[in-house]
Chain A
Amino acid sequence: MAGETNTEQLDPQTFGNAETATFWNAAKEGRLLIKHCTACDEHHWYPRTHCPHCGSGETEWVESRGEGSIYTFTVLRRNGGQIPCYVTLDEGISIFTNIVDCDPDDLAIGKRVRVRFREERNGTSVPVFVLSEQV
């Protein structure tokens, strides 16, 4: 079925490391945090301690508006219809995620989406996206 995930077998330490604990704690509260570098003023994804664009350790957590557009997507017909995609956030970075609660025929590259959080079977909340027009 759509939205079937693969995390139930995950070791809890995968989602509990020191580098990204702040991200996962915020996700549980329904907030999408991204990293911003105060040295080069760039955002990056996935979050790291050091900026992958300039190497600076002067990175800070900022809250994304959680809105963006579909960069590309697919429908995994052999894997329950899950829809992996890249969403380009309005902050300028593209993140690997899922589109959920949609008819795959309604999807198109460029369509607007906004964030929602899905609770995984291991208790973690992960950011997913829905079409903005149906919000």
Chain B
Amino acid sequence: MSRRKARAYIMGAYEHPTRLATDKTIAQLHMESALGALADAGLSLLDVDGFFCGNDMPGIGAFAIVDYLNLKLRHIDVTDTGGSSYMIHVAHAVEAIQAGKCSVALITLGGRPRAEGANTGTMVRPYHHAQPEIPFELPYGNMIVGSYAMCAKRHMYEFGTTSEQLAWVKVAASHHAQHNERALLRDVVTVEEVVNSPLVADPLHRLDCCVITDGGGALIVTSPEVAARLNRPKVGVIGMGETIKGQNGGKVDLSFSAVAKAARTAFEEAAIDRQDIKYVSLYDSFTITVLMQIEDLGFCEKGQGGRFVADGNLISGVGRLPFNTDGGGLCNNHPNNRGGMTKIIEAVRQLRGEAHPAVQVKNCDLALASGIGGWLGARHAGSVVILEREA
């Protein structure tokens, strides 16, 4: 196979340092993140001609944030698939750059659910009364955590997956988070501590669930021409995939996620083998989310995810597939309940060789970031980007 040549590059990445933004507005978090990523790339707001965001600013789409940042744009794209939006924004930025619609694309995220006291996983999420499924789901407790828990329960039934295997995902994340001074949770935990933490929604325990944090992040994607004149390592985007999976008209099958299809698209485009991937950032809203992505990305056979993640196989320097070396959403940061952004940022750090030395993967030239946003047991989106470091 001949590997695909990148058509655009991630040249700037920035994770906002805050985890509790009591003293900051959402707009400020977007602005500070944008400026951080632009400074990282060696660019300014005046260079931005394309803007990509989700629905995490108050108001309609991009109106408020574009006006607040005072951007002068040739191209805009508001796409929202919850936490997995940011892999899609990267993909759409690459497509827009390739089509000549922009040359410096800015992607921003910001929010403060922790300061506002949100119980993300266990509360009724905002809805519109005209959503067709609402009367058929709201009476029954359609909380986020329950949706993922039902998938975990079914996975255990079909494949024999255990709570101890799921716990290994959190244990691996905690091993990485101990080295991240900004991580919300830095204590290394054991399998026993995870399975003995209180049940939130059977079979998921408290430590199977991600953190709730404020913060933000931003990415800069540029054309090859712009990338060539910047003084930063070039992180090429060589494969992209996205889709939404629903309930299939009632023919429900919870054994796989939307990432299965998104991964096929991305790997076909990148024309690489899975075993060439050195590092993965996997959306970790819950431990089951990671396990199902590993299967659906093809790193093991369907149903073998539990065995794959056990015994430290996801720990950098120990296992075969180092993941979420910043501590991920399970330990480090899950800004505005949207973990896709920080997944891409840590993949960029790994490819640049800028991860913490204790978790930096040697010769990390190929990485993957995968996201699942929404309700895994109902409607959710899967999105995958494959990234390559270029000399």
Residues of chain A having any CB pair with chain B under 8 Å: 5-7, 10-11, 13-15, 17, 19-20, 24, 42-46, 48, 51-53, 71-79, 82, 84-86, 88, 92-98, 104, 109-110, 118, 120, 124, 126, 128
Chain B residues positioned under 8 Å from A110 (CB to CB): 157
Known A11-B129, A43-B250, A96-B378; contact A77-B138, beta-carbon cutoff 8 A: no
When the two chains form their complex, are residues A72 and B139 in contact, meaning their CB atoms are under 8 A apart?
A: no
Chain A residues positioned under 8 Å from B145 (CB to CB): 76, 78
Question: Which listed residue, B133, B146, B251, B252, touches A74 by the CB 8 Å rule?
Answer: B146
Closest 7 CB pairs between A and B?
A: A93-B250, A45-B250, A52-B249, A74-B149, A94-B252, A72-B154, A44-B249
When the two chains form their complex, are residues B154 and A71 in contact, meaning their CB atoms are under 8 A apart?
A: yes
CB distance from B338 to the nearest CB of A (A): 22
Interface size of B by CB at 8 A reads 41
Q: Which residue of B lies closest to A16 (CB)?
A: B135
Chain A residues positioned under 8 Å from B247 (CB to CB): 45, 94, 96
Q: How far is the CA of A98 from the CA of B202 in the complex (A)?
A: 14
Q: Would you list which residues of chain B between 279 and 318 have a CB under 8 Å from chain A?
A: none
Known A48-B132, A104-B202; contact A79-B141, beta-carbon cutoff 8 A: yes
When the two chains form their complex, are residues B153 and A97 in contact, meaning their CB atoms are under 8 A apart?
A: no
When the two chains form their complex, are residues A5 and B139 in contact, meaning their CB atoms are under 8 A apart?
A: yes
Q: How far is the CA of A86 from the CA of B133 in the complex (A)?
A: 14
Q: How far is the CA of A71 from the CA of B151 in the complex (A)?
A: 10
Q: How far is the CA of A109 from the CA of B145 in the complex (A)?
A: 19
Q: How far is the CA of A11 from the CA of B122 in the complex (A)?
A: 21
Chain A residues positioned under 8 Å from B143 (CB to CB): 76, 79, 84
Q: Which residue of B lies closest to A48 (CB)?
A: B132
Chain A residues positioned under 8 Å from B248 (CB to CB): 52
When the two chains form their complex, are residues B154 and A79 in contact, meaning their CB atoms are under 8 A apart?
A: no
Question: Which listed residue, B129, B157, B199, B252, touches A13 by the CB 8 Å rule?
Answer: B129
Q: How far is the CA of A104 from the CA of B204 in the complex (A)?
A: 15
When the two chains form their complex, are residues B139 and A120 in contact, meaning their CB atoms are under 8 A apart?
A: yes
CB distance from B360 to the nearest CB of A (A): 38
Q: Which residue of A lies closest to B198 (CB)?
A: A77
When the two chains form their complex, are residues B150 and A86 in contact, meaning their CB atoms are under 8 A apart?
A: yes
When the two chains form their complex, are residues B136 and A96 in contact, meaning their CB atoms are under 8 A apart?
A: yes
* Chain B 368-382: CB-based contact to A (< 8 A → 1; otherwise 0): 000000000110000
Question: Which listed residue, A6, A44, A48, touches B141 by the CB 8 Å rule?
Answer: A6
CB distance from B300 to the nearest CB of A (A): 22
* Chain B 182-209: CB-based contact to A (< 8 A → 1; otherwise 0): 0000000000000000111111100000
Q: Which residue of B lies closest to A97 (CB)?
A: B140
Known A10-B129, A19-B132, A86-B150; contact A75-B142, beta-carbon cutoff 8 A: no
- Tell me if B137 is interfacial: C-beta within 8 Å of chain A: yes
Q: How far is the CA of A74 from the CA of B150 in the complex (A)?
A: 6
- Tell me if B134 is interfacial: C-beta within 8 Å of chain A: yes
When the two chains form their complex, are residues A109 and B154 in contact, meaning their CB atoms are under 8 A apart?
A: yes
Q: How far is the CA of A5 from the CA of B250 in the complex (A)?
A: 23
When the two chains form their complex, are residues B150 and A84 in contact, meaning their CB atoms are under 8 A apart?
A: yes
Q: How far is the CA of A125 from the CA of B149 in the complex (A)?
A: 26
A-B contact pairs, 19 of them (CB 8 A): A10-B129, A14-B138, A42-B249, A45-B249, A72-B154, A72-B157, A74-B150, A75-B201, A76-B141, A76-B200, A78-B122, A79-B141, A84-B140, A92-B250, A96-B140, A109-B153, A110-B157, A126-B139, A128-B140
- Tell me if B124 is interfacial: C-beta within 8 Å of chain A: yes
Q: Which residue of A lies closest to B152 (CB)?
A: A74
When the two chains form their complex, are residues B250 and A71 in contact, meaning their CB atoms are under 8 A apart?
A: no
Q: How far is the CA of A65 from the CA of B145 in the complex (A)?
A: 31
Q: How far is the CA of A17 from the CA of B133 in the complex (A)?
A: 12
CB distance from A31 to the nearest CB of B (A): 16
Q: How far is the CA of A10 from the CA of B136 in the complex (A)?
A: 12
CB distance from A18 to the nearest CB of B (A): 12
Q: How far is the CA of A11 from the CA of B139 in the complex (A)?
A: 13
- Tell me if B254 is interfacial: C-beta within 8 Å of chain A: yes
Question: Which listed residue, B122, B134, B141, touches A84 by the CB 8 Å rule?
Answer: B141
